[in-house]
C-alpha cells in the first residue's frame, strides 16, 4: 500500500521531469526566436573577417530574415516595384539607396531619399564603403553584408 502511494507520486514527478526535458530539448530548436550559442557565433564572425561579402541580410524591420545573395550586380533598395529589395515602409523613398560593387568592395549610396540612409551612425552623403557586418539603416529596415 505504501509502495503504490510512493510509486504514484514518483510517477507524477517523472511526468514533470519528462516535460522539463522536452522544454530543454526545445530550447535551441527553431521556434520563432533564434537562440544562437554565443561561442559559436563569435567564431563564425572571426572566420569571416577578410572574406568577400556573399549575401545581404535584413536584420530588422518588416522583411527581417530576408537574404539576397550578392552576384556583382547592384542592389536597388526602395519602395519602387522594380527594386531588388522592395520596402513597404512609410519612411523609405521610392528609389532610396543603391549598394553596388566597385572593384572588390561594396559601396552604398543614397539616391536622394527624403529621410536619408545611414551607415552605422553616419549619414550617407557620398558613396561609402560598406564593411562586413556594419548595419545600414533605411527607415525602419536595417540590412548588413555577410560573407
Partner 1 sequence: MTQPGPAVPLAQGSEPPGSSTPTRRGTELAMLAFAAGLVTGALMLVEVNQEQQLTMRLVYYGLAYLVLFAGAHVAVRKWAPYADPLILPCVALLNGIGLVMIYRIDLALAERYEDRWADAAPKQVLWTAIALAMFVMVLKFLPDHRTLSRYAYMFGLAGLILLALPGMLPASLSEVNGAKIWLRLGIFSIQPGEFAKILLMVFFAAFLVSKRDLFTVAGRRVLGIDLPRARDMGPILFAWGICVAIMVFEKDLGTALLFFGVVLALLYVATERFIWVGVGLVLFAGGSFVAYQLFSHVQGRVESWLDPFGNYTEGGFQLAQALFGFGTGGMFGTGLGSGRPEMLLFQANSDFITAAIGEELGFIGLTALLLVYMLLAMRGLRSAVAVRDSFGKLLGGGLSFTLTMQIFLVIGGVTTLIPLTGITAPFLSAGGSSLLANYVLVALLLRISDAARRPQAAAKPKPVAQAPIAEAHTVMVERPS
Whole-number Å distance between alpha carbons of 140 and 21: 39
User: What's the min distance (Å) between Cβ of 25 and partner 1?
Assistant: 8
107-139 b/e with 16+ CB inside 10 Å = b?
A: bbbbeebeebbbbeeeebeeebebebeeebbbb
d(CA 67, CA 85): 10
* Beta carbon of residue 38, minimum distance to partner 1 (angstroms, whole number): 17
Any idea which residue has 563569435 for its cell? 42
Which residue number, 69 or 104, has a Cβ lying nearer to partner 1? 69
Which three cell numbers mark 145?
553584408
Query: How far apart (Å, rounded) are the C-alpha atoms in residues 136 and 144?
Result: 6
Q: How far is the CB of 139 from partner 1 (least distance, A)?
A: 16
Site for partner 1 (CB under 8 A): which residue of 68, 115, 116, 133?
Answer: 68
SS3 at position 57: strand
33 binds partner 1 (CB under 8 A): yes
Range 83-142, binding partner 1 (CB under 8 A): 83-86, 88, 100
Q: How far, in Å, CA of 89 to CA of 99, rounded?
A: 19
Pick from 75, 92, 130, 136 the residue near partner 1 by CB under 8 A: 75
Q: Give the interface segment with partner 1, choosing from 28-36, 41-49, 127-135, 137-145 (CB under 8 A).
A: 28-36
User: To the nearest whole angstrom, how small is the minimum distance from the Cβ of residue 121 to partner 1?
Assistant: 26
Binding residues for partner 1, rule: CB under 8 A, are 1, 4-6, 8-9, 11-16, 18-20, 22-23, 26, 29-33, 55, 57, 63, 65-69, 71, 73-76, 81-86, 88, 100
Amino acid at each position: 500500500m505504501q509502495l503504490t502511494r510512493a510509486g504514484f507520486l514518483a510517477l507524477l514527478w517523472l511526468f514533470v521531469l519528462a516535460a522539463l526535458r522536452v522544454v530543454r530539448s526545445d530550447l535551441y530548436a527553431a521556434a520563432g526566436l533564434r537562440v544562437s550559442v554565443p561561442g559559436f557565433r563569435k567564431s563564425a564572425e572571426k572566420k569571416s573577417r577578410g572574406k568577400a561579402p556573399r549575401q545581404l541580410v535584413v536584420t530588422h524591420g518588416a522583411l527581417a530574415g530576408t537574404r539576397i545573395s550578392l552576384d556583382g550586380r547592384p542592389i536597388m533598395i526602395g519602395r519602387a516595384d522594380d527594386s531588388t529589395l522592395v520596402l513597404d515602409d512609410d519612411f523609405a523613398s521610392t528609389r532610396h539607396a543603391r549598394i553596388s560593387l566597385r572593384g572588390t568592395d561594396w559601396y552604398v549610396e543614397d539616391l536622394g531619399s527624403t529621410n536619408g540612409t545611414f551607415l552605422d551612425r553616419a549619414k550617407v552623403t557620398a558613396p561609402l564603403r560598406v564593411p562586413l557586418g556594419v548595419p545600414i539603416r533605411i527607415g525602419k529596415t536595417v540590412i548588413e553584408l555577410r560573407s
